[in-house]
């Protein structure tokens, strides 16, 4: 064969390879989009509210800075995730379609990167593994739940960090140019790893995975390998500790519901490991809230789970010379990657269940790889007539997974479909009843909400959230004794929940029990980081008590913390008015109207301040404007207000 013929053959092979890659990219992307097409019509669900809808910091650039530099601004310190939410809100508002689109496209990207990683490691059946990962129904919880952008985004950067480190570890450093490129790969890997941690700190296991990779390939871990990953470990420790603190302080993962012994934590870890593998192999039924199993260290049957995990690992170690180090490495990858959610650390959602589909998103790389490689090796032992059996079976698995994923996506349409599905599959889920009650309550269906809360409390009588929510509905119904009973019980159970104190303060204020309202307001302001809503609440109570000087101090702090806070300026205007500081009151109302030109109440209050200053013409204009915007004022009332003597104060009873 001539040189020209060899070159032509190489070019043809390269062209075919590139064509195969592009076809693979198209296939994985299309499979992902088709499988998740039922999600495009879904709404926001459950705690999407706390992560996106009600997070005021997503509205401004100043809020974005707080997300990055003030831990506790968001309920978890994942600033990169909330930055992406911030960007989406400023691009297309609160249309859930685009939020779902971002999750789905990113999931496709993760699947493609997974394919590339397996190819770099020369692992067989890489394409099939990536296809299964893209469409496996266990991942619906991570993709269809907008909040779990943190899962997908962190996995995306996790794989990019792995790829860059792999490039670094196999680079040739024989000349200056290559040394430069090698250093660039290393720095890039560190940067991507930092991005992964800032998306979700479950990715802190990557440095251990890099050492595991070195052992798999070389049979040992060298001192050089440890030194190379040392900066990765340092990043993991720093951001991991920060996240744990935020989780405990703001997600409130503390109390008797997380007071497990070491033995109980081992029991959780063993059972959760087998649960995860079982769901990957047989993804039915899939439930957003699985039953929280009862822990009893005196029942010897529960020890089967952790002991069997240890036995499997020991057997893989003993037979590694015969079957290779790959199976053991894959199992260690799965268990090690799952370590943060195996029960050894407190996770807020353990109060609902010890397991959840979204816990295992990254660990599923190992399960799927082990399955595909193992099945491929088994296929080689079959007669030659079955040489393509694995491809046929993989194709069938992918089709079935596509259909299951599409069907499961319909469960996530809204809170009602989600929590009703949980109740149908896990009737003992107090969590589902409690949250469906919140859905009904928001929809104005308080009777249905109350029925679900009663069901939740029958299952778990000491469920503080359900008690507190029942108290809120009782307050709306003017059943004050019952409301305060439930508020008091919920606070006894979870005394660290400042939102419980806040709502009880509102109830006391409504009932006219101002001293008790002020005591609760003082408590929530003193216990947490300064929060403008808490300060506004206390200021309103102080106004009602006639303590205008102290109310003004709180409102001064509100405006200092958030200069663009409409309510702060509007309320401070009222305080100044009641103190007889009319010019300052007018100035505050003007600032409030700059921030919200449609505030009828601010026009009305500024009109009163103008009357007090004797500016009848300006007052008339403001009162007419207030009426135009919907404030209830007839000509007689306007004439009465304008006829008042200069300096006489007119109290705004609605504001009070």
pLDDT digits (tens, 9 = 90+) for 43-74: 999 989 888 877 777 777 888 888 898 877 78
Identify which of 324, 437, 407 has the alpha carbon closest to the alpha carbon of residue 373: 324
Report the chain's mean pLDDT, rounded to a whole number.
Answer: 90
| Confidence grade of residue 86 (pLDDT, cut at 50, 70, 90) | very high
Q: Is residue 213 domain-resident? A: yes
Predicted confidence at residue 148, as pLDDT, reads 96
Token pair of 595, please?
Answer: 């921030």
| Confidence grade of residue 128 (pLDDT, cut at 50, 70, 90) | very high
User: What is the domain count for the chain?
Assistant: 2
Token pair of 389, please?
Answer: 């059996």
pLDDT digits (tens, 9 = 90+) for 583-627: 999 999 999 999 999 999 999 999 999 999 889 899 999 999 999
Predicted confidence at residue 223, as pLDDT, reads 93
Q: Average pLDDT for residues 380-399, to the nearest whole number? A: 83
| Confidence grade of residue 652 (pLDDT, cut at 50, 70, 90) | very low
pLDDT digits (tens, 9 = 90+) for 202-224: 999 999 999 999 999 999 999 99
Q: Is residue 323 domain-resident? A: yes
Q: Is residue 447 domain-resident? A: no
| Confidence grade of residue 446 (pLDDT, cut at 50, 70, 90) | very high
Chain centroid to CA 344: how far? 21
Q: How many CA atoms lie within 13 A of 373 on its CB side?
A: 20
* Residue whose entry in the numeric block shows the structure tokens 């950067």: 157
Helices marked H in 198-303: 206-218, 223-249, 262-281
CB 481 within 8 A of CB 462: no
CB 362 within 8 A of CB 203: yes
| Confidence grade of residue 450 (pLDDT, cut at 50, 70, 90) | very high
Nearest-angstrom CA–CA distance, 460 and 470: 14
Q: How many CA atoms lie within 13 A of 196 on its CB side?
A: 25
| Confidence grade of residue 12 (pLDDT, cut at 50, 70, 90) | low
Nearest-angstrom CA–CA distance, 464 and 472: 12
Radius of gyration for the alpha carbons in the chain, expressed in angstroms and rounded = 30
The domain that contains 598 carries what CATH number? 1.25.40.10
Distance separating the N- and C-terminal Cα atoms of the chain: 95
Q: By percentage, how much of the chain surpasses pLDDT 70?
A: 92
| Confidence grade of residue 655 (pLDDT, cut at 50, 70, 90) | very low
| Confidence grade of residue 407 (pLDDT, cut at 50, 70, 90) | very high
Enumerate helices (H) and strands (E) in the chain, giving the number of each: 31, 0
Q: Which of 411, 442, 473 is the last residue of a domain?
A: 411
Nearest-angstrom CA–CA distance, 465 and 431: 9
Decide if pLDDT at 489 tops 90.
Answer: yes
Q: Is residue 284 domain-resident? A: yes
Q: Which of 373-387, 551-565, 570-584 is predicted least confidently? A: 373-387
Q: Is residue 524 domain-resident? A: no
Nearest-angstrom CA–CA distance, 240 and 234: 10
CB 327 within 8 A of CB 226: no
Domain that holds residue 61: 3-411
| Confidence grade of residue 4 (pLDDT, cut at 50, 70, 90) | low
| Confidence grade of residue 174 (pLDDT, cut at 50, 70, 90) | very low
Decide if pLDDT at 386 tops 70.
Answer: no
Predicted confidence at residue 385, as pLDDT, reads 66
Decide if pLDDT at 656 tops 60.
Answer: no
Q: Average pLDDT for residues 518-542, to the nearest whole number? A: 93
Predicted confidence at residue 654, as pLDDT, reads 37
Q: Is residue 521 domain-resident? A: no
Q: Average pLDDT for residues 489-509, to the nearest whole number? A: 94
Predicted confidence at residue 50, as pLDDT, reads 82
* Residue 292, number of CB atoms within 10 A of its CB: 19
* Residue 47, number of CB atoms within 10 A of its CB: 15
Q: Which of 381, 411, 441 is the last residue of a domain?
A: 411
Q: At what angle do helices 430-442 and 415-425 cross, to 10 degrees?
A: 150
Q: How many residues belong to the chain?
A: 656
Q: Average pLDDT for residues 526-534, to the nearest whole number? A: 86
Backbone torsions φ then ψ of 146, nearest 5 degrees: -55, -40
Decide if pLDDT at 646 tops 50.
Answer: no
CB 443 within 8 A of CB 452: no
Backbone torsions φ then ψ of 361, nearest 5 degrees: -55, -50
pTM: 0.86
CB 3 within 8 A of CB 372: no
Decide if pLDDT at 428 tops 90.
Answer: yes
Q: Is residue 635 domain-resident? A: yes
pLDDT digits (tens, 9 = 90+) for 224-244: 999 999 999 999 998 888 877
Predicted confidence at residue 247, as pLDDT, reads 64
pLDDT digits (tens, 9 = 90+) for 569-589: 999 999 999 999 999 999 999
Burial 225-257 (b: 16+ CB within 10 A, else e): beebbeebbebbeebbeebbebbeebbbbeeeb
Q: Is residue 12 domain-resident? A: yes
Secondary structure class of 643 (helix, strand, coil): coil
Predicted confidence at residue 170, as pLDDT, reads 85
Predicted confidence at residue 596, as pLDDT, reads 93
| Alpha-carbon dihedral angle through residues 453, 39, 43, 63, given to the nearest 10 degrees | 110
pLDDT digits (tens, 9 = 90+) for 256-313: 778 899 999 999 999 999 999 999 999 999 999 999 998 888 899 999 999 999 999 9
Q: Which of 411, 432, 466 is the last residue of a domain?
A: 411
pLDDT digits (tens, 9 = 90+) for 337-362: 999 999 998 888 898 899 999 999 99
């Amino acid at each position: 064969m001539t040189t020209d013929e060899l070159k032509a053959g190489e070019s043809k092979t390269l062209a075919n390879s590139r064509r195969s890659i592009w076809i693979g990219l198209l296939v994985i992307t299309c499979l992902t989009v088709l499988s998740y097409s039922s999600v495009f019509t879904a709404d926001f669900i459950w705690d999407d509210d706390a992560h996106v809808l009600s997070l005021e910091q997503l509205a401004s650039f100043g809020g974005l800075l707080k997300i990055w530099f003030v831990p506790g601004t968001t309920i978890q310190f994942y600033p990169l995730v909330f930055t992406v939410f911030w960007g989406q809100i400023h691009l297309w508002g609160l249309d859930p379609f685009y939020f779902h689109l971002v999750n789905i496209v990113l999931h496709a990207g993760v699947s493609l990167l997974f394919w590339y990683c397996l190819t770099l490691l020369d692992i067989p059946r890489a394409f099939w593994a990536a296809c299964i990962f893209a469409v496996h129904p266990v991942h619906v919880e991570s993709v269809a739940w907008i909040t779990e952008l943190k899962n997908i985004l962190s996995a995306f950067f996790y794989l990019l960090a792995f790829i860059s480190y792999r490039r670094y570890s196999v680079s040739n450093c024989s000349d200056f140019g290559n040394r430069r490129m090698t250093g660039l790969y290393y720095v890039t890997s560190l940067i991507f790893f930092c991005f992964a941690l800032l998306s979700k700190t479950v990715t802190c296991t990557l440095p251990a995975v890099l050492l595991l990779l070195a052992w798999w390939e070389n049979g040992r871990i060298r001192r050089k390998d440890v030194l190379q990953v040392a900066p990765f470990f340092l990043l993991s420790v720093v951001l991991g500790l920060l996240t744990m603190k935020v989780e405990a302080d703001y997600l409130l993962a503390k109390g008797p519901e997380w007071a497990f012994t070491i033995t109980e934590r081992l029991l959780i870890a063993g059972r959760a490991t087998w649960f995860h593998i079982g769901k990957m192999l047989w993804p039915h039924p899939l439930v957003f809230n699985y039953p929280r199993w009862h822990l009893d260290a005196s029942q010897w049957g529960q020890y089967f789970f952790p002991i069997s995990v240890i036995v499997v690992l020991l057997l893989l170690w003993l037979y590694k010379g015969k079957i290779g180090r790959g199976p053991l490495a894959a199992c260690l990858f799965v268990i090690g990657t799952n370590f943060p959610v195996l029960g050894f650390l407190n996770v807020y959602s353990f109060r609902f269940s010890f397991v959840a589909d979204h816990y295992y998103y990254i660990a599923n790389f190992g399960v799927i790889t082990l399955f595909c490689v193992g099945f491929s090796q088994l296929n080689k032992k079959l007669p030659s007539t079955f040489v393509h059996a694995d491809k046929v079976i993989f194709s069938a698995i992918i089709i079935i997974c596509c259909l299951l994923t599409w069907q499961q996506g319909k469960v996530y349409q809204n809170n009602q479909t989600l929590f009703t599905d949980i109740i149908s599959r896990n009737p003992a889920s107090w969590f589902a009843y409690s949250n469906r009650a919140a859905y009904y309550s928001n929809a104005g269906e308080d009777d249905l909400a109350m029925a679900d809360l009663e069901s939740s409390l029958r299952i778990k009588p000491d469920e503080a959230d359900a008690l507190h929510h029942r108290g809120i509905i009782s307050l709306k119904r003017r059943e004050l004794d019952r409301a305060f009973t439930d508020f008091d019980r919920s606070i006894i159970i979870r005394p660290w929940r400042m939102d419980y104190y806040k709502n009880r303060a509102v109830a006391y204020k409504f009932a006219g029990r101002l001293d008790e309202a002020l005591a609760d307001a003082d408590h929530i302001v003193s216990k947490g980081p300064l929060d403008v809503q808490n300060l506004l609440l206390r200021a309103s109570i102080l106004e009602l008590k006639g303590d205008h000087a102290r109310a003004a101090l709180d409102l001064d702090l509100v405006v200092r913390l958030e200069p663009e806070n409409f309510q702060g300026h509007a309320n401070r205007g009222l305080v100044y008015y009641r103190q007889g500081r009319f010019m300052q009151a007018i100035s505050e109302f003007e600032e409030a109207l700059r921030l919200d030109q449609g505030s009828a109440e601010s026009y009305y209050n500024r009109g009163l301040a103008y009357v007090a200053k004797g500016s009848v013409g300006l007052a008339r204009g403001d009162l007419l404007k207030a009426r135009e915007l919907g404030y209830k004022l007839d000509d007689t009332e306007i004439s009465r207000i304008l006829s008042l003597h200069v300096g006489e104060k007119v109290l705004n009873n609605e504001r009070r």
